[in-house]
């Protein structure tokens, strides 16, 4: 479980691609000694399991396997050497819940429709898959590329989020462009509410 509060930006250093599995090495600012084998780290949204870790020169690194289901449902299929990823380590009991409860189970890929910069902030308009739009509510929460964000407004089939300067500085959101694909995880509570109400 995660909160959507990004703690580092990692960089893909290596991609070993197989037919149904990709093995990645991701450089990070985490000390290798603090990363446990088998630990969960949210990488650009998807929760991935650490299978190796170490140190190279002035930075740590960890390795993960990305399976077929994750490749099919997320932007992980596009990751290559040099791709920058928002990172978050798993929530511990007693940690501050600064964002919202995020599972790291990405629902689908959404697309950035437009970006507007003003006063150091950035407004991003996003088109979600049609079947997920009903889980997105104004002033509700979404996780986009692993980042917990508040839905600012909804107009027709597009919703928008507003990013403040700090978020733009410590995440990959300052690098995004219109037309980019992003990982979308809808709010867990919205999904359960729909289930309990009998909605399909």
96: left (phi over 0), alpha (psi -120 to 50) or beta: beta
Query: Distance between CA atoms of 124 and 139, rounded to whole angstroms?
Result: 15
40 is catalytic: yes
Backbone torsion region of residue 191, taken as left when φ is above 0, otherwise alpha when ψ lies between -120 and 50, otherwise beta: alpha
Answer yes or no: 100 catalytic.
no
Q: Are 132 and 108 in contact (CB under 8 A)?
A: yes
From the candidates 3, 27, 28, 40, which is the catalytic residue?
A: 40
3: annotated active-site residue: no
150 is catalytic: yes
The active-site residue, picked from 67, 108, 113, 133, is: 67
Return the structure tokens found at 192.
Answer: 């359960």
Q: Among this protein's residues, is 47 annotated catalytic?
A: yes
Asked whether the beta carbons of 54 and 41 are under 8 A apart, the reply is no
Q: Which of 2, 62, 135, 159 is catalytic?
A: 2
Two structure tokens written together for 194: 């729909």
Identify whether 2 is a catalytic site residue. Answer: yes
Which residues fall within 8 angstroms of residue 17, CB to CB, at 6 or more apart?
A: none
From the candidates 27, 43, 47, 110, give the one annotated as an active-site residue: 47
Q: Are 45 and 143 in contact (CB under 8 A)?
A: yes
* Residue 159 known to be catalytic: no
Tokens 């990405």, residue located: 106
Query: Among residues 55, 150, 153, 193, which one is catalytic?
Result: 150
Give backbone dihedrals phi and psi of 131, rounded to 5 degrees, phi first: -75, -10
Which residue of the set 7, 52, 59, 105 is catalytic?
A: 105
Catalytic residue among 7, 49, 52, 194, which?
Answer: 49
Which residues are catalytic, by number? 2, 40, 47, 49, 67, 105, 150
């Amino acid at each position: 479980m995660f909160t959507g509060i990004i703690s580092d930006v990692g960089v893909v250093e290596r991609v070993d691609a197989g037919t149904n599995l990709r093995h990645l090495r991701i450089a990070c600012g985490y000390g290798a000694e603090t990363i446990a084998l088998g630990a969960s780290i949210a990488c650009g949204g998807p929760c991935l399991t650490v299978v190796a870790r170490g140190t190279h020169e002035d930075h740590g690194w960890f390795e993960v396997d990305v399976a077929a289901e994750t490749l099919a449902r997320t932007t992980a299929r596009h990751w290559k050497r040099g791709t920058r990823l928002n990172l978050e380590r798993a929530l511990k009991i007693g940690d501050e819940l600064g964002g919202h409860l995020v599972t790291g189970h990405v629902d689908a890929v959404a697309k950035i429709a437009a970006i507007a910069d003003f006063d150091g902030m950035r407004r991003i308009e996003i088109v979600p898959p049609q079947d997920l739009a009903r889980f997105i509510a104004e002033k509700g929460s979404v996780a986009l590329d692993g980042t917990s964000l508040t839905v600012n407004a909804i107009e027709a089939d597009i919703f928008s989020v507003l990013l403040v300067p700090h978020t733009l500085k410590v995440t990959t959101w300052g690098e995004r462009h219109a037309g980019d694909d992003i990982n979308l995880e809808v709010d867990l509570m919205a999904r359960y509410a729909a289930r309990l109400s009998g909605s399909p």
